[in-house]
Structure 1
Amino acid sequence: MNVVRTNEGDYKVWIDLKNGNREALEYIINQYYSDLYFYGVKLSKKPEISEDCIQEVLITLWEKRNSLNTVYNLKSYLFKSLKRRIIRVLSAQKKEEAQQENLRGVSAEFSFSTEDKMIGQQETLENQQKLITALSKLSNRQKEIVYLKYYQGLNYDEIAEVMLLKRQSVHNLLQEAVKSLRKNFFCLGYQFSIEKIR
């Protein structure tokens, strides 16, 4: 299936999916599974939860394709669906572990597993340690926004949709995260550039 990942391309894939075209579903799996998997692992910290939830999202997508609203951006739709599914699974697990506790919601701790890509781009072990220190000072939401923006390439509107925030809140949180990283890098004797984390 020859589809370009643009909003127009996403719309065409969505229409094909709604029309029962299995190639559209295969395209979605081939195009987005890897990104969904790593995002799911970062949210849940468990590969098996990520895999199970992705499978549930894709099955639901196929089974309910006729009743779903039109989607113009598949990636943000899939990320949002996966996040909701993982939150439900983690909530259920937490309720089982503590039956008497009234769970207000799950804010999955968002961490960078060994600060994978970001650390890999640093030139020395010393700089890697400075990056870890700077990242550890970010809030979980800031870490998630940095990941979605610079690793997944989502724009502000897409991040807002995934994280259930207003666009301005995403902008403000990302701006605060970048300021914090710059400040912490400067304090550690390192010149911070946003290009270093892309």
Structure 2
Amino acid sequence: MNNNPKISTEKAVIPLKHFETIMIYEDKTDQEIWKSFNLGDEMAFNYIYRIYVRELYRYGVQFSKDEELVKDCIQNLFIYLRRKRGELSEVVSIKAYLYKCIQSEIFKNRKTEARNRSIEENFGEHSFSVEVSPETSLIDKESALSRHELLSRSLNQLTAKQRQAILLFYEDGLSYKEISALMDFSEVKTARKLIYRALASLKELIKPTTKH
């Protein structure tokens, strides 16, 4: 018989509470979820954390390969959000807001010599490398493996900013307006042009496959 109450609690209670939280919030809008959280709803806070923590990590490691730094920044972000409940402004897209916050948090916590560089300078050649899955919306599900591999290689020939915009738009589902704010563009049309040009470049890079 297991006399450890912590183990039995983790097995019996936590999955149930998580399931219940998902059921409560999955049909609510981001504005409704954020409002509940801002009013002190602990379940709304837990929902936001569980839904976005892995995506924040995936996004954060594009700006710093120091995984512990990224994890610390995510923890600091959620500590800050919890402390500021009741004072936070309205949010239309939780994901876009959290992405912007973690991006700022990581750059703020980088070493002094890197902290003053621009985002463009901090983008390495391999930032936002793209690994295309067969299910991705960027390609037809019935595409041949060779075309899939060509697309993967072609995506990673784009600039870091183009790759970032493509991922934010197609994989994360952010709008042009949200991408513009996240990437510090002064106008929404800049994000739109960046994505259009990235797609045009992709079209040229994969053109050889259409000649057969």
Corresponding residue of 1:181: 202
Question: Mind listing any 5+ residue stretches in structure 2 that lack a counterpart?
Answer: 1-20, 137-142
Aligned length: 177
Aligned equivalents of 2:27, 2:52: Cα separation in 1: 10
Q: 1:169 aligns with which of 164, 167, 190?
A: 190
Aligned equivalents of 1:161, 1:183: Cα separation in 2: 29
Is this contact kept in 1: 2:62–2:128, CA < 8 A? Answer: yes
State whether structure 2 residue 135 is matched by structure 1 residue 117: no
Q: How does 1:13-32 map to 2 (within 5 A)?
A: 13-32=33-52
Corresponding residue of 1:40: 60
What is the one-letter code of the residue matched to 1:111? F
Is this contact kept in 1: 2:132–2:152, CA < 8 A? Answer: no
Q: Give TM-score, length-normalised by structure 2.
A: 0.73
State whether structure 2 residue 110 is matched by structure 1 residue 90: yes
Is this contact kept in 1: 2:132–2:148, CA < 8 A? Answer: no
Please give the root-mean-square deviation of Cα atoms over the aligned residues, in Å. 2.3
Aligned equivalents of 2:83, 2:42: Cα separation in 1: 12
Structure with larger Rg:
2
Question: Mind listing any 5+ residue stretches in structure 1 that lack a counterpart?
Answer: 96-102, 192-198
Is this contact kept in 2: 1:36–1:79, CA < 8 A? Answer: yes
Distance 1:127 1:92, change over 3 A: farther
What is the one-letter code of the residue matched to 1:3? Y
What is the one-letter code of the residue matched to 2:209? Y
CA deviation vs aligned residue, 1:99-141 (integer Å, no higher than 9, x gap): xxxx3423333231xx3235786743x4455334422331111
Q: 2:118 aligns with which of 105, 127, 137?
A: 105
Is this contact kept in 2: 1:90–1:106, CA < 8 A? Answer: no
Corresponding residue of 2:209: 190
Percent identity over paired residues: 27
Corresponding residue of 1:12: 32
Larger RCO, structure (CA 8 Å, separation 6 or more): 1
Q: How does 1:39-58 map to 2 (within 5 A)?
A: 39-58=59-78
Aligned equivalents of 2:66, 2:152: Cα separation in 1: 21
The DSSP-based 3-state class of the residue aligned with 2:61 is: helix
Moved more, 145-154 or 64-73: 64-73
